[in-house]
Each structure stands twice: as C-alpha cells, then as structure tokens.
Chains A and B, each alone.
Chain A
Amino acid sequence: MIGWLYPAFLSALAALAVPVILHLIKRRPTVVMVPSLRFVPRGFRAYQRRLRLHEYLLLALRLLLLAALVAAFAHPFVRTRMAGTAWQADSTVILLDVSLSMQARGPDGAAVWPAVMRDVRARVQALPAGHAWRVVAYADGVCATLQATDNWQRVLHEWETSFPTYGGTDYNAAWRAARDALADQHGNSHVVWYTDLQKSALAALAAQQLPSTCHVEIVPCTPGAVNQRIAFVDAARVTDLGVTARVACVVSGGVNENDLQVYVDDLRVPTRVEQCAPGMAGTHVLTLPVMRSGVHVVRAILRADDAYAADNQDSMLVYAAPAWRVLLVSSTPISNTLKAKTLYIETAVQQLVPGSEWHATHATIKPEQLAKQNLRATRVIVLVDVARLPDDAVRVLADFVRAGGSLLVFCGEHTDIAWHNATLARRGLLPAQLIYATARARAGNYTCIGIEQWHTNHPALRWCTGAAADDLRAVPFYRVMRTLPATNAEIIATFDNGDAYLAAARLGSGTVALMTCTADREWTAFPRSRLYLPFMREMMRWLAQEPDMADAVRTAQIVVRDARAEQVRPGIVLRSTVPLAAIKNVPDARECACEQGLPSAAQAKLGVRDDAFVVSTTTRREGKNDCIESWLIAAVFLLAALEGLYANAVSYV
C-alpha cells in the first residue's frame, strides 16, 4: 500500500490544471494566403491530424512530468502494514535500556527507572499465557536476558536494584539481540523498546534488519535527562586575557577531545578535554575565557554532530566579573596577625572557599602608604581605627571617593577626633562629626547597648531577617563613638540609645560610611558573631557597588535553552514544551506513524510528559522506498528531457 511521507505536497497536483488550461487557450494558427498549394509537399497534407495527436501526447507528457515531480516531493513509500491497526503479536521482545543515563530523574525529581520497571512488569504480566516473550537488558552490550521460562518476577525485582549500570548505550547490540530472539519465532512479533533515546538510537534501528512481520513500539523514558551535565561554575577570575570562568562538565560516557563542545554566549570556545575511559563517567574542568563581565550562558554539547545532540547538552548561567580589592588601612599593623585590629575584617572579606561566588581580595597597608599607585582594582578603602592620615593621603582619598570609590571608617581608641572633624568631615569624607567615645561598659551590664533599628531594605542589611535579626539585636556594644550626623547623611542603623551605628553619605560618585564602633572585638562582641561575616560581605558588596544579581540570576543556575534547528536532523521535531530532551524522531519517517501520547496506563506509571509518543513502525523497507524515490526523481528528469526534446521536435508553441 502506498503512503505519502509529506502528503501536503499532493496539494500541488492542482498545478496540473495549468498545462490543461494552456492547452485549451493556446494560440490559434495564423491563416496565410499563398499563390498555390502545389509547392507544399504532399507528405504534409495529413499534418493537421498528426499535429492534434502531438498536442495530446505533449499534454500527457507534461501532466505526467508534473505528477511525477509532485509525487517525488511527497515521498511515497510502500507501507507494508497500516500503523495503528490492531496488531496481534505471537511473540514479544522487550528491549530494556539499562545504561547510566537511565538513572536520570525528571524535572519533578522522580526517578525514571522504577517507573520503567513497573511498566515492564505490568506489560509482561499482561501477556497471555503461552505467549513467547523475552526481555533483553542492554547497555554497552547485552547485559542480561529474561525469558518466559524464568522466574521473571524475581528477576525483574533484582534488576530494579542492580540496574542501571555504568556504561554507554549500544543499540546495535540490542537490536541484534532482538533479531536473534525473533529468528526462531513464527508469526507476528512485537518489539517493545524502553530507552531514553540517548545518542543515535533510532539511527541504529534504521541500520538493522528485522523480519517483515515485526511491529516495533518505542517507549521513550527521557523526562529531561541528559548524558552530559555542567556540574558547577567556578568564580570568575581576572587573568591576563580578561575574565575567565571555570566550568566543570560531567560526562557519563567516554569522551574524546572533539566530542565536547562548549559555547559561551553561542560562541564556541576552544577546550582541551582529557580522554577518559569509555563507559565511565568523567569530570572535565574547563577554563573558559569570557573576556567581559556580566551574565553569560555557558552551554556544553556532547557530540554535536550527533543527530540527537539536543539531548546531550546542558546550559548554565555564569556571572563573570573581575575581582576587586578591599584596601584596609590600619595605624597599628603588627606582625602578630592574631592581635591586629584588622584581624576580623580581613577574615570576613577573604575568600574562604575556592570556587565560591565571593571573589574579592584584600590588602592591608599603613596610612603613609596610601597613595594612588596602590589603589589598583580597589573599590573600598577601610580606615581601621586610624589616628590621622598624611595630607597627601587625604587628597588621594578624596579623589578616590569622588571618582566612585567608597570609604568606610571604623572608630576606635586611636581615632583623633579633632583631626577627623577638621580634615575628613570638612572635606565630606565623614558622614558625621565625631563627638566623643562613651565610657566602657562591661558585658552583661545594663549599660551595654545594642542595635535597635536599621533599614530593612538597605542592601547591607536586608538579609538580616527573622532569627538573624534577633541575633543582631542581641549583640552587645561596650563603647561607641557618639556622633553628630551631617545633614546629607543617612542613618542606616541606630543603637537603642538613639546614637548612630552606621551612617553613610554620598560624595561625588562614591560613598562614605562611618561605623561608630571598632572593627575588632575591642568595643563590641559583634566580630565574634556569626552575623559579622555576612554583614561585612554585604557591606563591602554594597560599597563596591557590585550589581545585585540575587533577583535576576543565580550563578550556576541551570537554564533551559531550546535546541536550535541545526542540532536536530531534518525530520526530527523538537517539542518546545520539554526542555532539551524531547525528541520526536523515527529512523525513517516514511516507515512509521507516530501516535501522540502514550497509553494512559503507561503514561501514569512512567510519569512522563504528556507529549511523549509511541512510535509504531513496520518493517524497514528503506531500500525499496529509496528505490521508489530514486526512480521518481529519475522519472522526473527523464520526462523533463523527453518533454524538451519532444516539444522541440514538434516545435509546439
């Protein structure tokens, strides 16, 4: 029975009317009066009759040419059996993919494998008595075979725990096993293929020869699992070439250097990948040159030339930014770092975990070292209980803040109040006038004060909610510097006695902030609190004017990107509703008919997406069908040549 792969092209048969209309309205012959017909050869007296015959023949030839052309576009094929019709199978072979990728979990976190096993068990149980069946588990090869004579319930139960196994997927081996199983079977046979459709699964199907009475049903088990996954994204770093990001890709199978392609914002970047053993999962850490700050999409594709590359890719968002520096200025840096006033703040701003998102560095200098050449990559200068600064350093500091930098001043024992008011406050480098330091109170004494109020929406403190807020209020402060805030200053946090704890003001393009307490635990127990590190980091992030990415993206966030058209071979329809893994493909569409949706029972058990599909295919007749197509194309060329020659021969206008 003839079927059409692209029946829509058959509508082009309406073009057959064109030569017919031209034939009907063709130009009438010219009437010419000649002196005598005696000079016209006798042999042409019957020309009119022959010409009419020529016209009909030429019309038929042209109609045939158009019909053949349309048929060639519509891709006819010989359908050995109507898909979707009831199929009474005498034997059944279930091919079960037990490769590593079958461990995948769906978007909802549900594992696929148990659902698959339940479906297999239900399917076997539903087979009638005496029905010949076999279950073939395969990965790199045939792993196990289950026949009707075995204690199949026990074996399937064991398989549920022992499989999936490490290994790739060799569909050829699976189909060879199916072919061998069907070799000694007579009558109709049914092949049920459970697979996650990784790699060129259906291409392998196309390469196999199955008996003509075989009906293949493919049950896809891929709710979004991929063979290759980006594991983590390291912090971006500044290198000589610009900003780079480190990306780790986990590949479940063997990978060659050319197999893995990594794209940053759709630009392929060169990667060097160490080859790992086939069948073994491997982690490959790549250093990708991003070259500019911002959010980038890193996409890794395994075997991009694979027809199913859309199923073997993963994407992540990477926030890449150059590292910046916090410059700590302390009057009393001592060799014993444990006694330094900058100990806690240094601990707070240093990178504790390699690969974390915090990528600020710090340095500590003396006041007299504060010069312009030492401010490279510096975004924040912190004066940690500095008595006074040289005049040149003050000028450098003022220029730095006006140019966009930030200044944070911690008060302390050594702070020269008069000099701060006369120099820094007069230049606008202090958001408040310093008055005096209060008397020290003992911990637990009622004279200890605490932070009472703060701006809950302020970038430096908005993280402090719930239990963290209670903890912050419980932090004792023994001494504080009483201040008189400037008119343009913003009081971010205040003590319970009404004094300001944190004040800030704008100066030029920069920000100046004042902490009325020490940076160490001399006046307060705050540095020993678990809140100190996030407080200081968010404070520094705010002062460094680093863009807040919390609401936009999260670093290493997995993004869903639709596969591009060129990543799937013609004939494959990629479902847009399912990210990355939805494949609707058949090896040779002319041989198959796709039915939308799984059977409801199987769909419920598998928990797969609604638009999963079942492929019903008849026996491969690809050779014959290709032959039909080839013959049609040859016929088109032959008819076109004949039409040209014939029309030229009869000079039909």
Chain B
Amino acid sequence: MATTAHLNFAALARISDVGLRAHIMVHSYFAGMHPSPRYGRNAEFASYAAYRPGDDLRDIDWRAWARSDEYFIKRYDADCTLNSYIVLDISGSMCHAGENTVKMCMSVTVSAALALLMLRQHDAFGLLTFANDIVCDVPPRAHERQFTRVLAALASAQTGGASRFAPLGPALEQRLKRKSLIVLISDLTGDCAEIEELFERVRFYGHELLCLRPLAVEEVQFSYHGRVVLVDAETGERQMVHAREVRAAYQENLRAHGEQLLRCAARHAVDLETFTAHDVSIKPLAAYLVKRKMAP
C-alpha cells in the first residue's frame, strides 16, 4: 500500500545523484510497509476449484474434503520473471522547467525508481531513450549491474529534438522477442496518430504498455502573468501572447489533447497515467505495480 505522505520532489530534485533519488523515492513509497513476521508458503494461494478428472491428486485439499465431502483443488500463483523496458522520451519538450522542477529531472528520477523496483522484483529491465530517433539502448537484463548501466544511461541523457513515435514501434518490435512490459515515459506532445500507431503496434505483439505522462504544474495551470513570449521547446518557434487571454484556450486545448490520448489508450488497453511534481512519488510507482501484477 502506498503511503499517503507525498515526497517533496522539489527538494528531491536538488540531489544530483539519480540513484540516490531513486532509492529515496522507492523507500518513501514503501515506507510503513514491512514483511510479515509469520512464515508461509512460497507460492501464493489463489483460489479453490472443483476437482475435475485429470487434475493432480496432490492439489486436492483433503481438509476441505473432510469438511464438505467434496473434492476441491487449491490453485496457486505461479512465480515468473518479467521482461520490462523503460522507454524514456528525451525530446526538447521534456526539458520544460517549472518554478522548482524540471520535467526531465522528474522523468529520469521516475525511470531510475522504476529500474530499482524492477531490480528488487528480479525482473529483467532495460532502458531505451528516444527523441527524433532512438538515442540510447540498454537491453533488458536481470542482475545488479544492470541498474548501474541504466543509471549511467539516464545521467548521460541530453534533451533535444522533437519527439517522434513512428520509429519507436519497429525498434521495440525488433528488440523484444517475448511479451514484455513497456513503460513509456513521455509528455506525449507529438502527433496523436503516431502515438496511436505505436500503441496499436505494441499491443499487437502482445506487450503490456504503461504510459507515464509527466507534466509541469505551470504547464497545466499556465500560471504566467502579463505579456509573455512563448518559445516552443522542440521547434524554437516564438509567440508573444498575453497570459490571461490565452490561458483558458490553452488549458482547453491541453485538456482536449489529454482526453484524446486517454481515448486512444483505452482503445488499445494501454494504461495512461499523468503525473506532476505534486504526485510524482506516488502515481508512477503505483501504476507500475498495478500493471506489474497484471503483466504476463
């Protein structure tokens, strides 16, 4: 269960070490959770099922037979390893700087935290960064050194360029040979058609896709005042506006874009979670854990 105590990401962002930030985020998320003092079975009990011929006699619950004079077999959750891929958008739009936080810093920290979580789950995890094209690729592995590799890749990530999702689908298809969990961390400001094509392609090959969409608070609220010159982080285009006049239209467009993304994700059974600096310590990890439980 996630803790209700939110982590102050503005304070966390002052720590330059990505690994330390990830540790703090994961530990703060699991704060209050502790292992049970009682011993139990290795395999988690899942449910009862009526005995049918052909079932293994070892699975029959003789206690239940003694009580009800009927045969029931016990079902257990089988342990399995998960192949996970963290896909991080490092396009120019991700370098949006808010009052205290940078969107890219938030995304890198979430990526590192997810990597740490996957390491603790003994899952194989990798990292793929992209902007116009694939920039960096750390193939999934399930050992301790993989986390160090991922951290090094995250630390060396440089934002720039426009985010293009079209080449991302074939790249993932080429790299993932088995069903995997793909965690896409991007603000999804690109073309919706490309994004939907990516969703469709990933889901077509049976992968689970979790989209984490970081947004800056100023970006959501458009909390600027007076005359401002807006600069497109990806194209460098400039436009002078008056904040109060365009605020409502901007927020409406942003909300419509988010709804379009949600509809697109729902059509392809993709989980889409938007988070800001206020809930960065809870939402991404919770979404991952839920998705991890449903992952193949």
Instruction: Spell out A's residues near B (CB within 8 Å).
Output: 27, 29-41, 43-45, 47-48, 51, 650-651, 653
Contact = CB atoms under 8 A, between A and B. Distances in A.
23 contacts: A29-B226, A30-B225, A30-B227, A31-B228, A32-B224, A32-B228, A32-B229, A33-B230, A34-B232, A35-B233, A35-B234, A36-B93, A36-B233, A36-B234, A37-B239, A39-B253, A39-B254, A40-B241, A40-B253, A43-B249, A47-B242, A51-B227, A651-B226
A653 B226 contact: yes
B245 A29 contact: no
If over half of B's interface residues share one DSSP class (helix, strand or loop), that class is named, otherwise mixed; here it is: mixed
Contacts, number: 94
Nearest to A48: B240
Contacts of A36: 93, 189, 232-234
A38 B246 CA distance: 12
Contacts of A47: 239-242, 245-246
B187 A32 contact: no
Contacts of B240: 29, 47-48, 51
A33 B189 contact: no
A43 B237 CA distance: 16
A504 B7 CA distance: 111
List 7 tightest A-B contacts by C-beta distance, closest first.
A35-B93, A29-B227, A41-B249, A39-B253, A48-B240, A37-B232, A36-B189
B261 to A, nearest CB: 13
B97 interface: yes
A32 B246 contact: no
A27 B245 CA distance: 18
B96 interface: yes
B189 A38 contact: yes
A31 B96 CA distance: 13
A44 B222 CA distance: 15
Contacts of A38: 189, 253
Given A33-B230, A39-B253, A651-B244, 8 more contacts: A29-B227, A30-B229, A33-B231, A34-B96, A35-B94, A36-B233, A40-B249, A47-B239
Interface in B244-281: 244-246, 249-250, 253-254, 257
A45 B47 CA distance: 62
Interface string B142-164: 00000000000000000000000
Contact of B231 (A31, A651, A653): A31
Given A29-B240, A34-B232, A47-B240, A40 B97 contact: no
B219 interface: yes
Given A41-B253, A44-B246, A34 B230 contact: yes
Given A30-B224, A41-B250, A35 B187 contact: yes
Contacts of A33: 95-97, 230-231, 233
A36 B239 CA distance: 11
Contacts of B234: 35-36
Contacts of B250: 39-41
Contacts of A45: 239
Contacts of A35: 93-94, 96, 103, 187, 189, 219, 232-234
A37 B245 contact: no
A30 B246 contact: no
Interface residues of chain A: helix, strand, loop or mixed (majority): mixed
Interface of B: 93-97, 103, 187, 189, 219, 224-235, 237, 239-242, 244-246, 249-250, 253-254, 257
Given A29-B226, A41-B253, A34 B233 contact: yes
A651 B242 contact: yes
A33 B237 CA distance: 10
Contacts of B228: 29-32
Contacts of B229: 29-32
A35 B102 CA distance: 12
B75 to A, nearest CB: 48
A645 to B, nearest CB: 16
A55 to B, nearest CB: 10
A48 B242 CA distance: 9
A78 B232 CA distance: 60
Q: Which of A27, A40, A48 has the most CB of B within 10 A?
A: A40
Contacts of B93: 35-36
Contacts of A29: 226-229, 240
Contacts of A34: 96, 219, 230-233
Contacts of B245: 44, 47, 651
Contacts of B95: 33
A198 B93 CA distance: 88
Contacts of A651: 226, 242, 244-245
Contact of A32 (B189, B231, B237, B244): B231
A324 B225 CA distance: 88
B89 to A, nearest CB: 11
Contacts of B257: 39
A647 to B, nearest CB: 13
Contacts of B96: 33-35
A47 to B, nearest CB: 5
Contacts of A650: 242
Given A32-B224, A35-B93, A40 B230 contact: yes
A32 B222 CA distance: 10
A48 B228 CA distance: 10
A48 B235 CA distance: 19
A43 B246 CA distance: 9
Interface centre among B97, B241, B249 (most CB of A within 10 A): B241
Nearest to A47: B241
A26 to B, nearest CB: 10
Nearest to B251: A39
Contacts of A41: 246, 249-250, 253
B250 to A, nearest CB: 5
Contacts of B97: 33
A653 B225 CA distance: 10
Contacts of A37: 230, 232, 235, 237, 239
A374 to B, nearest CB: 96
A34 B235 CA distance: 10
Nearest to A42: B249
Contacts of B244: 651
A29 B225 CA distance: 10
Nearest to B238: A31
